[in-house]
Amino acid sequence: MSVTVLTALSHAWEGRMVEIVDRLPGIAVGRRCVDLADLLAAAAAGHGDVALVSADLRGLDRDALAHLGAHGVAVVGASPDGDEEQERRLRQLGVQRHVHLATPGEDLVESLTVHAAAGVAVASGPQQTWPGQDPPTAPVALVTDSTPPPVAPAEAVRGRVIAVWGPTGAPGRSTVAVNLASELAAAGAPTVLIDLDTYGAAVAQLLSVLDEAPGLASAARASELGTLDLMGLARLAVEVSPRFRVLTGIPTPNRWPEIRPAAVEQIIDLSRSLGAFVVLDLGFAIEDDEELSYDTAAPRRNAATLSGLAEADDLLLVGSADPVGLQRMVRAVQGVGQVASPTPRPVVNRLRASSVGADPRRRVEESLARFAGVEGITFLPEDRAATDAALLAGMTLAECDPDSELRRAIAQLAGTFSGVVAPARRASGRVLRRRRP
């Protein structure tokens, strides 16, 4: 195959690399880009198949690499002499293949052609990670044709991602997300809660975590710079109780441009190794606002929610049990079906007879089955006293009022994921105290 290469390299040795690449069979240098903006423009215009970049390219970050990949341009790192520091920097950004001036010609051809084909595959559309089955929740032993050794190596356990999403109108997304994560952790499963709501992040307030504590914004910034790793994420995710970590959201909504989709994807991917469950508290808006902008490379406010939905293994669609909330829920079922996301599992919150009439469970089931075609609804009762007390204390329901009807309903919901039976009602219980960060 014929491969066109775009270069964005240090001026000190770019000429030598271009001369070497241009002599390779089936390889041609299509454009020598002077900076990152020139490279992104050339990629968007379809002028190349592979980009050769150096670690000192100013402005190069994870979001820029995602932009190149979205236009079918694979990225190969380059350095003058195989510098390990430059290679490490590019690997942290996600560039896995590297060449230098002394790389043999046949290796150069292989690197450029293989990655060009990979770039075309990425641009052709998203690939389902786990076709036809759920992601594994236990280590998978490596199998060979020969007799296996006494102890077979195993792949790392990957945490399950549960997205909590719902339409506008404050149906209780954050309350459900916080208490679901708390119950999963209480069941013995290390759990990470990530606040990805770019319109009204509330997890920090619900759990009495200081807004000034480093959280999602710090993790996203480190991801963009290529310095975020598992240990770094663990330091940023506050441990509010045993086995329960929280990555707080952006303190003010106007900081949403800092949360780029490529960074969100890496944060979620690393969180899978940090906990058995990863719970995402998502914002309400899922419109692809990129379509409303002339600059298609501009930041998108809804990208964090859309990325969270695309990365999730399970989706809880939270709606409120009142006429307006149910109407919004019906439309939300239709809307979320238009974006990359798992099949939604409906959760009707604040169930009460005063808002929908006698026998509220039956009425809601009939309405959603008729207008949205959904079944298997999880109902969460209205329990204003318990939620108010928990909000005032900055605690979870399990800490503040473990015997409340709402707490036990959420514990049963968590049990469907963890396999742990919800605790029985008890006369009294010890209240846990929040560990301050």
CATH number of the domain within which 16 lies = 3.40.50.2300
| 299 and 179 together in one domain | yes
Instruction: Report if residue 130 sits inside a domain.
Output: no
Contact (Cβ atoms closer than 8 angstroms) between residue 364 and residue 379: yes
Domain shared by 77 and 168, yes or no:
no
In a domain, 427, yes or no: no
Regarding whether 24 and 170 lie in a shared domain, the answer is no
* Co-location of 103 and 185 in the same domain: no
| Angstrom distance (rounded) from CA 265 to CA 252 | 21
Same domain, 40 and 182: no
Residue 143 lies in a domain: no
Residue 60 included in any domain: yes
Q: What is the CATH number of the domain that holds 186?
A: 3.40.50.300
For residues 118 and 171, membership in a common domain is answered with: no
Examine the domain organization and report whether 231 and 115 are in the same domain.
no
State whether the Cα torsion 248-407-278-167 is positive or negative.
negative
Q: How many CA atoms lie within 13 A of 303 on its CB side?
A: 21
What is the per-residue pLDDT for 1? Answer: 62
Confidence category of residue 149, pLDDT binned at 50, 70, 90: very low
209-263: pLDDT as tens digits? 876 667 999 999 999 988 899 999 999 999 999 999 999 999 889 999 999 999 9
Query: Do residues 118 and 173 both lie within one domain?
Result: no
- State how many domains the chain has: 2
C-alpha distances in angstroms, 141 versus 35, 67, 270? Answer: 46, 36, 21
pTM over 0.85: no
Nearest to 179 by CA among 403, 436, 395: 395
Residue 148: pLDDT band with limits 50, 70, 90: very low
Span 19-42, average pLDDT? 92
Tokens 């026998």 belong to 359
255 lies in some domain: yes
Q: In what order do the strands lie in the sheet with 74-79?
A: 27-32, 3-8, 50-53, 74-79, 98-100
pLDDT tens profile 271-313: 999 999 999 999 999 987 555 554 555 668 899 999 999 999 9
Percent of the chain, pLDDT > 70? 83
312 and 385 co-located in one domain: yes
Residue 430 is predicted with a pLDDT of 41
- What tens digit of pLDDT does each residue of 327-343 get? 999 999 999 999 999 99
Domain final residue pick, 95, 123, 151: 123
Q: What is the mean pLDDT of residues 190-203?
A: 96
pLDDT given for residue 426 in this prediction: 58
Contact call for residues 21 and 50 (beta carbons, < 8 A): no
Torsions phi, psi for 87 (to 5 deg): -65, -40
Which pLDDT score, from 0 to 100, does residue 311 have?
A: 97
- Note whether residue 175 is domain-resident: yes
Q: 171, exposed or middle or buried, with CB in 10 Å at 0-12, 13-18, 19+?
A: buried
Domain that holds residue 309: 160-418
Band the pLDDT of 157: cuts 50, 70, 90: confident
Q: What is the mean pLDDT of the chain?
A: 85
* Cβ-based neighbours of 127, under 8 Å, separated by 6 or more: 121
Same domain as 72, residue 11: yes
| Displacement of CA 323 from its chain's centroid (Å) | 32
116 and 164 together in one domain = no
pLDDT of residue 213: 66
Average pLDDT estimate for 158-183: 96
- The reply to whether 347 falls in a domain is yes
Radius of gyration of the chain (CA): 25
Query: What is the predicted pLDDT for the residue at 421?
Result: 79
Side chain identity at residue 146, one-letter code: S
* Pair (164, 119) in one structural domain: no
Assess if residue 146 is contained within a domain: no
